[in-house]
Amino acid sequence: MENWQAVLSVITFISVIVLIMTEWVHLTIAAFLGALLLVFTNVMTLKEAVAYIGNSHGTLGLFFGVMVLVRAFEPTKIFDYLATQMVLLAKGDGKRLLLGIVGITTPICAVLPNATTVMLLAPLIPPMAQEVGVNFVPLLILMVFVANSAGLLTIVGDPATFIVGDAINISFTDYLLRLSLGGVIAVATVTATLPFLFRKIWRTKLENLEQLPHPQINHPRVLAVGAIIIAFVLLFFVIGESLPVPISPAAVALLGAALALLLSHQSKIDSVNNILRDVDWSTLIFFMSIFVLIGGLEKTGVINALSGILGIILGKNILLGSLVLIFFVGILSSVVPNIPLVVAMVPLLKQYLVNVGLAPDAVLASDFQGQFPPEVLPLFYAMMFGATLGGNGTLVGASSNIVAAGISEQHGRRISFKTFLHYGIPVMLLQLVTSALYVLFRFLL
């Protein structure tokens, strides 16, 4: 591939990240213009750009399906009702509220992808914060931290862990035995920061709970049918891919969305046009654009060139390689969304292992079903931890961060890059250090 195309892909990608960080333009516009620039300069054709988006159809289908599902049940006031119940359970105590968010988000993220969990739970946060009298933005950011961290508890908890786990053919059970403790440590690290990073909310105490609004649930019959649809979706999220005829989470989410639209339309609680108008299209277009930008780096050979550099720096030293990868991928993941980063890094790491003679050529095949040499697995574990926890660093680091920012904007407050950074950098650095120690003592010493 011609050098100018590789240079243009790198400059475009870096420019988009800079525009997002400085907030000169909205992150969706920056990514969208960057993707279109690659098409108009013929770095890739429109057909190739659409193909790169198509490669990540699962992520986009899952997000769209859950967005529709959540929005379809808004007229029932279920989110306002549940938010009030949570405040009552916490007895108006900010400390209990923060711990409650950790306690609710963690187990759900063990079985559902983290961005999906944020989509389902985030609508509870703004009304809950309003009742306690605090800013809901820090609470949303906390939910994102917990969701990203708890995504390490199981192989299905985070798209990044699933992509890496799938690449090295690790089973659900093996993952639990080898790596889940790392997820527990990551969640514990976030919890330990609560009294310091979220000091104002930690000390908040609502004295008069009687003054809380008590929203009533609307359309209880519709909600009862809706609960069956959501139960069906959650069940098939967990078991769908292990059925004789596998059903992907994206397909399940889309079917749930279609059933929710049917229910809303037939019960006349809302119109299909209203529901689809309120879908967070900005977030979906941002992801599509990022997939095209990463595709540009892949097509022009930039990612392959990086694997060569990796080989020169690391040589055959697995211990050094694993620790370098945790921090390198972690810091990279704070500025590049972790799903496309991992999609790009997996082939890079495989190529590096073959180049330095640590793995056979067979591992490069897309349909490789064998086992990797055990001594190289810590490199993949390090990439998993780095990509997932590095996502806590900045607003664009993980899909759930972008989803939370979209939900926040829909509720009237924008999460700025700077605000997220204030909370994200300390949490990310602490987590990268604790996960590096875990990988070191568990797998390398």
Model pLDDT, residue 43: 92
Q: How many CB atoms lie within 10 A of CB 199?
A: 12
Average pLDDT over every residue of 357-370: 78
H-helix or E-strand spanning residue 167: helix 159-167
C-alpha pair distances (Å), 26 with each of 74, 88, 190: 27, 37, 29
Query: pLDDT, tens digit, for every residue of 390-414?
Result: 999 999 888 889 889 988 988 889 8
Residues 100 and 160: beta-carbon distance below 8 Å: no
- C-alpha–C-alpha distance, residues 398 and 28, integer Å: 15
Average pLDDT over every residue of 84-94: 75
C-alpha pair distances (Å), 193 with each of 136, 155, 396, 426: 18, 25, 21, 9
Residues 375 and 366: beta-carbon distance below 8 Å: no
Q: How many CB atoms lie within 10 A of CB 289?
A: 24
What does the mean pLDDT of the chain come to? 86
Model pLDDT, residue 273: 93
The pTM for the full model equals 0.80
- C-alpha–C-alpha distance, residues 37 and 41, integer Å: 6
**Which of 340-354, 374-388, 398-412 shows the lowest per-residue confidence on average (mean pLDDT)?**
340-354
Average pLDDT over every residue of 168-178: 83
Residue 42 DSSP one-character state: T
Model pLDDT, residue 364: 77
- C-alpha–C-alpha distance, residues 151 and 153, integer Å: 6
Candidates 408, 335, 434, 354; CA nearest to 139 is 408
Q: What percent of the chain has pLDDT over 90?
A: 33
Residues 109 and 190: beta-carbon distance below 8 Å: no
Model pLDDT, residue 209: 61
Amino acid at 165: G
The token pair at 158 is 């985070």
Amino acid at 20: I
Model pLDDT, residue 7: 93
Model pLDDT, residue 434: 96
Query: pLDDT, tens digit, for every residue of 233-274?
Result: 888 877 887 788 888 888 888 999 999 999 999 998 889 999
Query: pLDDT, tens digit, for every residue of 40-82?
Result: 999 999 999 999 888 878 778 888 988 898 888 888 888 777 7
Residue 137 has pLDDT above 90, yes or no: yes
Average pLDDT over every residue of 278-285: 87
